[in-house]
A and B are shown apart, each in its own frame.
Chain A
Amino acid sequence: MRRGLAWVGALLLLGGCVSSRPIDEIQIIQQMGYDFENGRYTGTAVYPTFKQGPMTKPNMLTTTSPTIYDLIPRLSSKSALPIEEGQLRLILFGKEFARRGVTQITHSLARNNKVGSHLLLGVAEESAKELLKITAKTTLSDTLYLPNLVEQNEQSMNLPKTNLHLFLYRYFSPGSDPFLPYFEKKGDFVKLEGVALFRDDQYVGHVSLRDSFLMKILLGETKNGVYQLKVGNRGKQGEDRVMLQNLWAKPKYEWKRDGRRHVLDVFVHIHASVRDYPSWLDQPGGDLFADVKKKMQNELEHNMRRLFHYFQKKRIDPLGIGDFVRSVTRHWDSDAFYREYPDLDIRPHVTVDIVHTGIGE
């Protein structure tokens, strides 16, 4: 009896120590934007308000501060309910902000147990605030326009997979650099423009969505992505292009020594389907795509080489080549490797198999 009472007492007393956060008494923020303008940081929070059943309306809170850590407390001073970041789905960095480094944010996120590692990060071409404002204005019922956009593109299009977890992994790994989706404002719309590249935590440049297809393949993500290829010179746009869809691709890296230099051979085997092609290609008899295949291989190889050069010039390694080399090298030295990296001979070899053509799945 006494023991039972002690239990109940302990339950009640200890229960008092927990801070409860009933769901309707907090301000859930779902997207956050960070900008750097005129020497001050700007924080933008997008939170949903629920009206008329499941219909939601995104609202925004903005504040500026000379420091980053101060942003959320300052946002709180504008909010009726305590701000909770547990449902964050996307954090958008302005380009200026990203150029100065995002560690302060990501390092805090890495330790924050309320935030899932599935959180998406992104870079906005101009200001994150503007971009969020557009999405808040144009989308009425969908507060998660940007996260859905990213996920959709990762799953079926050219964007390689990114999220907080992968960002932190690539950031902390000595043999790779992180990258994030890159958004641009196009009139009243937001457009995914490609992949923003980072050196350590600083934005250094971006590649187009077309190149991000190559990145996706080179990163070893085996499925999805489309690539357009020019096959002839017949004048009108679209008349001479082939739309290639990646069905299954696998890169294979080989690290070897050639004389005094190191050589990295990259073999990529793509099983592709041709989604759309100009009608003149469709001639009876001949092997329709033998020529297309060859052109594809050449162009892909060419573009990959260009991409590698770009990365080497920028001294960044978003593909994690350092990681691969480490895995085949005893006593790998990161500094020594990256000293050699810009001059590394990287040779892509692409084979394309056209598995089928047409729209049919």
Chain B
Amino acid sequence: MGWFSFWKKKKKRPAQRNLSQLWEKLRQSSDFVEVSFVVGGKELSIYYFDSLVDPQVLQERIFCHLQNDIPQHPNVRLEDLQQIVPIQRIEVSEDTALIEEKVLKGFVAVTFREQPNKAALMGAAAENLGLRENNDSENEFSVVGPKVGFVENVGVNLHLIRRQVVTPNLVFREMSIGSMSKTKVVIAYIDGVANPEVIQTVTQRLESIHFDLVFDNAILDQLLADNSRTPFPLFISTERIDRAIYALVSGQVAIFCDGSPYAVIGPAALFDFFTSPEDYYLPWVLGTFFRLIRFFGVAFSVLASPIYVAVLTYHYEMIPEDLLGPIIYSRSNVPFPPMLEVLFLEITIELLREAGARLPTKVAQTLGIVGGIVIGQATVDAGLTSTILLIVVALAALASFTTPIFKMSNTIRFIRFPFILFAAFWGGIGIIFAVCGLLIHLGRLQSFGYPYLLPFYPFRVRSFRDTFIRSPYSETAERPMFLRPRSRFRYDPNAAKQKRDIDE
């Protein structure tokens, strides 16, 4: 609605420009080109943005044919250009706003002298100019499985999806978002699988976005979010094709955005963020094991340093007698209370990570070594932190990186800090408080209107087949019911369960 109201407002503007005013306005830019010539007694003008147009298309398809073929068709009108120029979908319009938009998107406008208020629009945009041709899914790497990732060009992304999901039910719906960027945004879903309500919600949310520039899907992600105050990502954003397709097949909706190599997938539950496509490529026993390790990693990452703070500040009774010696000894030279000690190290690690992310890859490696070994060793030697804490914090940081989705691993590292503060002020009970607060917060979150804690809250036993445990494929024929898909099974569950004892 919002986008259309913007459209209407523009239409209603009293000083509706005619075409010559439009060209006048566009001429301010130096890359706007206007070519006028007479051929076969016809005066024609061609307008385009040099920077947007593919010169080869312009010369071979448009100029060449206009110059050579018009003399043979003396009475040609703008509407008949399709017969001459070999370019798909030539559009003829009187609408200045439309013409302006198209020209700004890399179309070539052709006008005839005798039809002064009309222009024929021919697509000649250089689609791939300056964009990556391929993506090795470096940020969501997996050892097994396909390495191809999405790229910035949305057309390529749709092609990648369509090539693997060979069904007419795969639907792409295109819209344009951003008052300035006019970014092409595509909603993808599988008709007959995805719940129409979800599609409806996604479409409505996208339509009601008021924004000027959409650089990346990450911005859409935030604009779409049900709750903008949460540190938790409410939608999965992935550059992996297999992940996006798996989501589509389970009944989720994917959103692609031109200029972004990420697909946004929703509705997402908390547990989706801890599954990796690799789980599905490994035998299910191993997949389950690694998934459980990941869950443990999350718990450890969030709780390790808070527990250290709480135990050392308030609950010395809880330390096992054999650990008492090492802990007290390593703490004995540290001048800070445990909270400051932990914050100091945590922030050091965050600094290292942030610096490593900002630096060129080769320098970042050096920095990692300098930071990890030199600073770590030096802080301990200088007596600023204890050795045990160094191990705890380093392990916690390591564990936070096991989360496959980058956004979630950021969140996990962030929520550690309130936990540390709670632990420092209130000890063990503070940690319990923080955990309760976190659970309450998670319980209230929604992703496209679906509870974030599914299948835990509300409790859905059947969907546990693919949360903590990656069940064998004979058990996973049923789609997760909490997404309320229109069709229940991905494949025939009975055929999947059949035992093949005897080779026939």
Chain A residues engaging chain B, CB cutoff 8 angstroms: 11-12, 14-15, 18, 20-24, 26, 28, 30, 48, 50-56, 84, 86-87, 89, 114-116, 144
Contacts and interface: CB of A to CB of B under 8 A. Distances in A.
Contacts of B327: 23
Nearest to B326: A54
A87 B327 CA distance: 14
Nearest to A144: B321
A19 to B, nearest CB: 9
B316 A26 contact: yes
A15 B426 contact: yes
Interface residues of B, number: 25
B455 to A, nearest CB: 31
A21 B316 contact: yes
B328 A18 contact: no
Interface in B31-58: none
A87 B324 CA distance: 9
Contacts of B317: 86-87, 114-116
Nearest to A30: B321
B384 to A, nearest CB: 14
Contacts of A84: 316
Nearest to A141: B325
A89 B313 CA distance: 21
Interface of B: 311-314, 316-317, 319, 321, 324-329, 331-332, 334, 337-338, 421-422, 424-427
Contacts of A50: 325, 328-329, 332
Residue of B317, B331, B426 most packed against chain A (CB within 10 A):
B317
Contact of A20 (B321, B326, B331, B337): B337
Given A11-B422, A12-B425, A28-B324, A21 B314 contact: yes
A144 B332 CA distance: 21
Contact of B316 (A11, A14, A23, A55): A23
B65 to A, nearest CB: 64
Nearest to B323: A54
A3 B279 CA distance: 43
Nearest to B422: A11
Contact of B319 (A15, A21, A23, A115): A23
A51 B321 CA distance: 16
Given A14-B425, A50-B329, A54-B329, A22 B313 contact: yes
- What are the 8 tightest A-B residue pairs by CB atom distance, in nearest-first order? A15-B425, A86-B317, A50-B329, A54-B325, A24-B331, A23-B316, A20-B313, A23-B312
Contacts of B316: 21, 23, 26, 28, 84, 86-87
Contacts of A21: 313-314, 316
Contacts of B326: 53-54
B438 to A, nearest CB: 14
B389 to A, nearest CB: 12
Residue of A15, A24, A28, A87 most packed against chain B (CB within 10 A):
A24
Contacts of B311: 23
